[in-house]
Amino acid sequence: MDKTEQRLICCNIKREYIKGKYEYKGVINIPIKGQRTGYTINCEYCGKEIYQTKTQYNRAKHHFCSNVCHKNYERQFIFENRTCPICNNIFEASKKSKQKFCSVQCQNKWQKTNIGEKNVRFEGKICTCDWCHTKITVGKSNVKRFHYHFCSDACRKQWYSNIYSQSEEWKEESRIRATKILENRKIDTNTKPQVIINQTLDEMNIRYTNEKNFKYYSMDNYLDDYQLSIEVMGDFWHTNPIKYSTYPTSNIQSNRIVKDKAKHKYIKKYFNHEILYLWEDDIYNNLLLCKRLIQKYISTNGILENYHSFNYHLENDSIVLNSSIILPYF
């Protein structure tokens, strides 16, 4: 058997002698033994000689003998060797990082001698802890930046919970923060009566803003085109005097009365208009009365004989002030 015949058998090609000549059945293009159509190149990381086909060679920009060499090659462009200033050990760090030390222990050693009052360039001031009154040294920048100073986080927490949280300054900040949260609609305050009033204003084509921020307070409905305000009053929460004939003993109701009184006084003094109060019982049982009251409130530029819906009734589709006026608790 000659070499050509051996190659044919290996390639699964049959050769038959027919009519004085050989005919081949199978693959027509028979490659020559040992012929290679690719390239012999060196691994770009370790230098090992490798063979790649034309397709493999053209597909990649860099060529490696293994995945390990590929990763090590890319790593040298991402990481670099640095020398720790404390122990002089060489460590590997990302080129983008600002890491200076090989370990947390070395960093702590450096901080003990280079941060705060131990630093030769440190400029500070001796202050007293606002909670335990221990003398502490505060950096120059922190003296200007913070009004209060503490020797520890535990002292800061104790001072905040026992002193600052009871101050008028904190209460004012809390009120402002709460009104901003309401204005940004992070909390849904739309009760059923509120939804009904919103729908009524939509039907009347009146533009309004829910929870309009007035620094310390927010209004349920602020009428944008008229600079007037409407408050939707729940009978229990705001103590409807028709349903509660005596001053409430509930802390929830009594606290709300104080807040309603303060809000009314603040809006009238600093924003120069009276608030229209629509009460829950009238919203559920006499919505037309509320609608007519809103129309009159707008047409008179916010000037009414009385600003509470329970002091009005309807006569021939017109609102009429009751003969006996009921005063709210605020």
* pLDDT tens-digit readout, 19-32: 555 554 444 444 44
Q: Identify whether residues 151 and 193 lie together within a single domain.
A: no
Q: Identify whether residues 314 and 238 lie together within a single domain.
A: yes
For residues 328 and 330, give the distance between their C-alpha atoms in angstroms, rounded to a whole number: 5
| 4: confidence class by pLDDT, cuts 50, 70, 90 | very low
For residues 44 and 66, give the distance between their C-alpha atoms in angstroms, rounded to a whole number: 11
Q: Identify whether residues 207 and 273 lie together within a single domain.
A: yes
Task: Write down the pLDDT at residue 28.
Answer: 41
| 138: confidence class by pLDDT, cuts 50, 70, 90 | confident
The answer for residues whose C-beta is within 8 angstroms of residue 57's C-beta and 6 or more apart is 38, 39, 41, 63
In a domain, 100, yes or no: no
In a domain, 233, yes or no: yes
Q: Mean pLDDT across the chain, nearest whole number?
A: 80
Sign, CA torsion 42/46/52/54: negative
**Packing angle, helices 192-203 and 287-299, rounded to 10:** 60
In a domain, 172, yes or no: no
Q: Identify whether residues 206 and 300 lie together within a single domain.
A: yes
Q: Locate 284 and state its tokens.
A: 């559920």
The answer for residues whose C-beta is within 8 angstroms of residue 124's C-beta and 6 or more apart is 116, 117, 137, 138, 139, 140, 143
Average of pLDDT values for 67-73?
86
Q: What is the DSSP string of 78-116?
A: HEEEEE-TTT--EEEEETT-----SSHHHHHHHHHHHSG
3-state secondary structure of 25: strand
3-state secondary structure of 50: strand
Q: Identify whether residues 309 and 221 lie together within a single domain.
A: yes
Cβ contact 72:45 at 8 Å: yes
Q: How many domains does the chain have?
A: 3
Q: Locate 85 and state its tokens.
A: 């200033």
Domain residues for 160?
Answer: 118-166
Q: Identify whether residues 199 and 316 lie together within a single domain.
A: yes
Q: Identify whether residues 247 and 146 lie together within a single domain.
A: no
Query: Residue 233's domain is classified under what CATH number?
Result: 3.40.960.10
In a domain, 147, yes or no: yes
Per-residue pLDDT tens over the stretch 282-301: 999 999 999 999 999 999 99
| 233: confidence class by pLDDT, cuts 50, 70, 90 | very high
Q: Which amino acid is located at 260 in the chain?
A: D
For residues 134 and 141, give the distance between their C-alpha atoms in angstroms, rounded to a whole number: 20
Query: Model pTM?
Result: 0.48
Average of pLDDT values for 298-319?
92
Q: Identify whether residues 29 and 140 lie together within a single domain.
A: no
In a domain, 317, yes or no: yes
The secondary structure of residue 204, as a DSSP letter, is T
Q: Identify whether residues 295 and 219 lie together within a single domain.
A: yes
For residues 327 and 261, give the distance between their C-alpha atoms in angstroms, rounded to a whole number: 13
In a domain, 232, yes or no: yes
Q: What is the DSSP string of 208-234?
A: EEEEEEETTEEEEEEETTTTEEEEEE-
Task: Write down the pLDDT at residue 74.
Answer: 82
In a domain, 11, yes or no: yes
Nearest to 278 by CA among 321, 244, 302, 310: 310
Q: What is the DSSP string of 236-286?
A: TTTT-TTT--S----HHHHHHHHHHHHHHHHHHHHS--PEEEEEHHHHHH-
Q: Which amino acid is located at 205 in the chain?
A: N
Q: Identify whether residues 22 and 126 lie together within a single domain.
A: no
Q: Identify whether residues 317 and 221 lie together within a single domain.
A: yes
For residues 116 and 130, give the distance between their C-alpha atoms in angstroms, rounded to a whole number: 20
Q: Is the pLDDT of residue 98 over 80?
A: yes
How many other β-carbons are positioned within 10 Å of the β-carbon of residue 219?
A: 25
Q: Which residue has the higher pLDDT, 96 or 166?
A: 96
3-state secondary structure of 126: strand
Q: Locate 247 and state its tokens.
A: 């001053």
Q: Identify whether residues 199 and 294 lie together within a single domain.
A: yes
Q: Which residue has the higher pLDDT, 314 or 30?
A: 314
For residues 308 and 239, give the distance between their C-alpha atoms in angstroms, rounded to a whole number: 13
In a domain, 328, yes or no: no
